[in-house]
Amino acid sequence: MPFAAHTYTLIFLGKCGLAFPPAPALCSRKSQVDCSESPPWNTTEPSFRKTTKGTAEQILYPINILRNVAIESATTHYVLPSDIELYPSDNLAPMFIDMVLRHPMLMNAEPPKAFVVSIYEVKEGTEPPRRKSELVEMLRNETALPFHKTICPTCHHVPKAQEWTNEAPRDPEQLNVFHVAQREGDFKNWEPIFIGTRFDPPYEETLTWEGQKDKRTQMYALCVLGYRFLILDNAFLVHKPGIKNYTIDTWRDGLVAEQNHYISTFLTSRLVSIYGQKEECTI
Ligand SMILES: *[C@@H]1O[C@H](CO)[C@@H](O)[C@H](O)[C@H]1NC(C)=O
Ligand SMILES: *[C@@H]1O[C@H](CO)[C@@H](O)[C@H](O)[C@H]1NC(C)=O
Ligand SMILES: *[C@@H]1O[C@H](CO)[C@@H](O)[C@H](O)[C@H]1NC(C)=O
């Protein structure tokens, strides 16, 4: 069994495009690819998908389809459905495997578990920290911040975040569980990135990245199914350097409103019929 394998899902944008709902009419077999053209990812745009904004062939980023494809293609039992711009701390995968081998009860299916990896962002021009001790120093001098602190402080508000920062890992070379939480109360909107297994409920494929809350429906399912969220003491993810600030984007705000409406008028009842309902679980 490989201890760690990486699956990257690449999207190639062509005439067929990637649209929701899918538009087969756009996908003609006669489409020709001009190989003399510069490849679509060869761009200095910070995020090339933004260049499609407002054009006739507008493509929304089908992030959950990509997450599910990557999970289904994984050759390992445990999976970390992360984003390409999130860099894991050193040795995350081997340290995780070492942890579950030392504590085999962590492999029990009951109660179901999600191993949470906290996310941070760092200032432009800084070197992303690789070890917790480096991250903690950067949090102290404010060159690092909890993820999206300036955009949506509650979205990534992590239970016991302050204690996590103040407490050194039990063993700097090992991974252990720092705290076991549930997605309830103050954390009912929590959308963590976590190490799970290929058998966790899938991400909702009709949601787009632009519409936001793309992980919330899956989190609702985990909440109803009684998942425990085990926060890891010595592992984290750091976003590509650069602090994101809130900027007004009426195009995106429109998509967010549309997706919120779709979630509340349609998806919620579907999720309730699939997973059931618990008063303390929200989408
Ligand atoms: C990428 O873009 C640069 C600048 O537009 C160009 O000079 C270069 O040839 C391109 N590379 C490829 C592989 O097309
Ligand atoms: C903040 O801390 C990091 C890690 O110790 C260090 O590399 C960096 O120079 C510090 N930056 C400032 C502005 O103090
Ligand atoms: C975000 O705001 C901070 C503080 O005001 C600033 O230093 C930083 O350059 C801004 N980042 C971007 C990407 O505009």
Distance, CA 243 to ligand 3 centroid (Å)?
6
DSSP string, 95-139: HHHHHHHHSGGGG-SSS-EEEEEEEEEE-TTSPPP-SHHHHHHHH
Distance, CA 144 to ligand 2 centroid (Å)?
9
Q: Given this model, what pLDDT does residue 189 score?
A: 83
Distance separating alpha carbons of residues 102 and 126, to the nearest angstrom = 35
Distance, CA 99 to ligand 1 centroid (Å)?
45
Distance separating alpha carbons of residues 31 and 136, to the nearest angstrom = 52
Q: Given this model, what pLDDT does residue 202 score?
A: 95
Q: Given this model, what pLDDT does residue 223 score?
A: 94
- Which residues line ligand 1 at a C-beta cut-off of 6 Å? 38-39, 42
* Local confidence pLDDT in tens for the 283 residues of the chain: 334 566 665 555 444 444 444 444 444 444 556 678 776 556 554 444 444 444 434 567 888 988 999 899 889 999 999 988 999 999 999 999 999 999 999 999 999 999 999 999 999 999 999 999 999 999 999 999 988 777 776 665 778 888 998 888 889 999 999 999 988 888 888 889 999 999 999 999 989 888 888 999 999 999 999 999 999 999 999 999 998 777 888 888 888 999 999 999 999 999 999 999 999 998 8
Distance, CA 79 to ligand 2 centroid (Å)?
33
Nearest CA to ligand 1 atom 10: 38
Q: Is 151 in the pocket of ligand 3 (CB under 6 A)?
A: no
Distance separating alpha carbons of residues 124 and 72, to the nearest angstrom = 34
Ligand nearest to the CA of 48: 1
Q: Given this model, what pLDDT does residue 245 score?
A: 78
Q: Determine if the pTM surpasses 0.85.
A: no
Nearest CA to ligand 2 atom 3: 138
Nearest CA to ligand 3 atom 14: 245
Phi, psi of 148 (to 5 degrees): 55, 30
Nearest CA to ligand 1 atom 13: 38
Query: How remote is the C-alpha of 38 from its chain's centroid?
Result: 30
> How far separated are the first and last CA of the chain, in Å rounded?
36
